[in-house]
């Protein structure tokens, strides 16, 4: 006697064929297809419950709704199951308890990594992201080894399990990638890059590495998502929980950047040297691989009318086997690359910009009062609102706004002069007119 699961599979095959051909069907045809084992009352119950929304009623019968019938055979059978656990999450793959725990740990760690990276006020974004992604990758590879029956535990010379803090020691990520044949060489080098940089960033204050490793971070995440969904299905896709973060500015304010550099120059330089040395040893095909460092263009998408611009951002995956697809886009990108448009007072600074920048560079108080004494001490302008008497190398009068603006040369000059303690004291105590 056929079981219910066989009826489910037969009905799925029936619906899949009707979806492919677009032909309507009757309940009698469906009943006959499953060998008459489903009576009309059973089918009507399914229509109002399990199949609600999957079909459209027409004069000829029922038509499968392509928008709502999104199941493969396994997920359809789980949806039809009387088990509440299976029917409520039909797309969740059936895994052993241990594998499911590892996969969910990997998924959650990756979500946390992205959350840390995308928070606007996070300072240690790269550091937090890297640590959590290493946990995510380790758990994912352990799940794969578990699925394939590969023992990923350490054993001593006597053949006994190595125990650490009461638990059997498992392979760390660097060992895992040596035993995994499902990752490309470029992806392995990307992981290796981060496993080696992790210890460096855990003990250093170096948020300036964000820009230096952005491409590698994106590749680390992209490779993880690809392997996760390939092995355990779209149910665990990170796309289900994420969106594209909104962008406000492209660079830190100058004063913030300068202050950061003062505190992290040494630490950043050590990590920067490691990054440069590591990448210099890579083969060219690894360096240019999107699986080692993900590179992208952010190009404004212009729509001629509302319906053509419903999707604000589109991701175009680069196919190395078909480079011609990007030729047209490359031409467009070249056409819109940085173009300087002449604007009034371009490159000039307001007084406050001068104070903040100089103070950050010299590490001593330099506010409005000190700046006023400085332009008087060095006689770069007059008190009156006039262009007369301005040393245009350092200061210019803006006639339209009736105020003064300053040049980068003035900032550089003050930084150099006031770095000398004696000169700084003379300027600060200046009382002349």
Helices and strands (H, E) in the chain, number of each type: 18, 6
Residue 379 domain flag: yes
- Dihedral (Cα; 364, 370, 373, 378), 10-degree rounding: 40
Helix axes 254-280, 351-362, angle to 10 degrees: 50
Check whether residue 58 and residue 207 sit in a common domain: no
Residue 292 lies in a domain: no
Q: Are residues 237 and 171 in the same domain?
A: yes
| Angle (deg, nearest 10), helices 368-377 and 351-362 | 90
Same domain, 282 and 314: no
**What span, in angstroms and rounded, lies between the C-alpha atoms of 394 and 407?**
5
The answer to whether position 270 is within a domain reads: yes
| End residue of a domain, out of 61, 88, 115 | 88
Query: Are both 103 and 84 inside the same structural domain?
Result: no
Same-domain check for residues 63 and 127: no
Total domains, the chain? 4
Q: Are residues 115 and 250 in the same domain?
A: yes
Q: Do 170 and 276 share a domain, yes or no? A: yes
Per residue in 315-371, pLDDT (tens digit) is 566 566 666 666 666 655 555 444 444 556 666 888 888 988 888 888 888 888 899
Q: Report the predicted TM-score, pTM, of the whole model to 2 decimal places.
A: 0.63
Count of CB atoms within 10 A of residue 362's CB? 18
Would residue 294 count as lying in a domain? no
The reply to whether 358 and 323 lie within a common domain is no
- Residues in contact with 379: Cβ distance below 8 Å, sequence separation at least 6, in sequence order: 391
- The verdict on residue 342 lying in a domain is no
- Residues 64-121: pLDDT tens digits? 999 999 888 988 999 998 888 888 888 888 899 999 999 999 999 999 999 998 887 7
Which of 88, 116, 134 is the C-terminal boundary of a domain? 88
218: how many CB neighbours lie within 10 A of its CB? Answer: 17
Give, for 397, the enclosing helix (H) or strand (E).
strand 395-398
Q: Which long-range contacts (CB under 8 A, 24 or more apart) does 26-35 make?
A: 26/61, 26/62, 27/61, 27/62, 29/61, 34/7, 34/10, 35/2, 35/10
Which residue, among 170, 184, 182, has the nearest Cα to 98 in the 3D structure?
Answer: 170
Q: Does one domain contain both 411 and 381? A: yes
CB atoms inside a 10 Å sphere around CB 47: 15
Residues in the chain: 433
Which of 55, 88, 121 is where one domain is finished?
88
Q: Does 272 reside within a domain? A: yes
Q: How far apart are CA 376 and CA 430, in angstroms?
A: 8
The string of pLDDT tens digits covering residues 206-229 is 555 777 788 899 999 999 999 999
Report the distance separating Cα 387 and Cα 402, nearest Å. Answer: 10
Q: 4-46: per-residue pLDDT in tens? A: 688 999 999 999 999 999 999 999 999 999 888 888 889 999 9
In a domain, 162, yes or no: yes
Residues 130 and 270 in one domain: yes
Q: Provide φ and ψ at 20, rounded to 5°.
A: -65, -40
Same domain, 160 and 265: yes
Where would I find the beta strands (DSSP E) of 273-379?
Answer: none
Q: Does any domain span residue 37? A: yes
Does residue 321 share a domain with residue 358? no
Could you list the residue range(s) of the whole structural domain that residue 317 is in?
A: 306-336
């Amino acid at each position: 006697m056929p079981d219910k699961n066989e009826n489910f599979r037969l009905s799925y095959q029936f619906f899949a064929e009707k979806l492919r051909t677009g032909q309507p069907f009757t309940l009698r045809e469906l009943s006959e297809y499953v060998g008459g084992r489903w009576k009309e009352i059973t089918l009507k119950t399914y229509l109002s419950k399990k199949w609600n929304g999957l079909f459209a009623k027409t004069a000829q019968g029922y038509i499968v709704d392509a928008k709502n019938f999104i199941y493969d055979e396994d997920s359809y059978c789980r949806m039809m199951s009387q088990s509440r656990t299976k029917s409520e999450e039909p797309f969740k793959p059936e895994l052993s308890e241990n594998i499911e725990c590892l996969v969910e740990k990997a998924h959650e760690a990756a979500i946390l990594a992205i959350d840390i990276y995308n928070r606007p006020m996070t300072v240690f974004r790269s550091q937090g992201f890297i640590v959590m992604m290493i946990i995510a990758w380790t758990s994912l590879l352990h799940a794969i080894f578990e699925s394939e029956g590969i023992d990923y535990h350490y054993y001593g010379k006597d053949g006994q399990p190595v125990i650490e803090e009461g638990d059997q020691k498992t392979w760390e990520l660097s060992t895992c990638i040596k035993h995994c044949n499902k990752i490309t060489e470029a992806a392995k080098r990307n992981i290796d890059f981060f496993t080696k940089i992790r210890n460096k960033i855990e003990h250093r204050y170096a948020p300036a590495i964000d820009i230096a490793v952005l491409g590698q971070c994106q590749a680390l995440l992209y490779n993880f998502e690809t392997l996760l969904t390939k092995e355990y299905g779209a149910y665990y896709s990170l796309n289900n929980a994420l969106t594209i973060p909104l962008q406000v500015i492209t660079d830190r304010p100058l004063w913030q950047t300068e202050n950061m550099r003062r505190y992290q120059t040494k630490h950043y330089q050590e990590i920067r040297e490691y990054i440069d040395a590591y990448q210099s040893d890579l083969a060219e095909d690894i360096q240019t691989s999107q699986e080692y460092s993900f590179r992208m263009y952010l190009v404004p998408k212009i729509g001629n009318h509302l319906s053509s611009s419903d999707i604000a951002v589109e991701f175009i995956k680069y196919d190395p086997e078909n480079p011609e697809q990007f030729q047209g886009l490359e031409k467009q990108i070249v056409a819109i690359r940085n173009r300087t448009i002449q604007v009034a007072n371009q490159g000039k600074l307001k007084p406050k910009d001068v104070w903040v920048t100089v103070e950050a560079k010299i590490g001593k108080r330099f506010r409005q009062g000190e700046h006023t004494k400085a332009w008087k001490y060095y006689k770069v302008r007059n008190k009156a609102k006039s262009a007369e008497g301005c040393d245009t190398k350092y200061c210019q009068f803006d006639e339209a706004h009736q105020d003064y603006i300053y040049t980068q040369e003035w900032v550089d000059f003050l930084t150099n002069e006031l770095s000398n303690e004696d000169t700084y004291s003379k300027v600060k105590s200046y009382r002349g007119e």
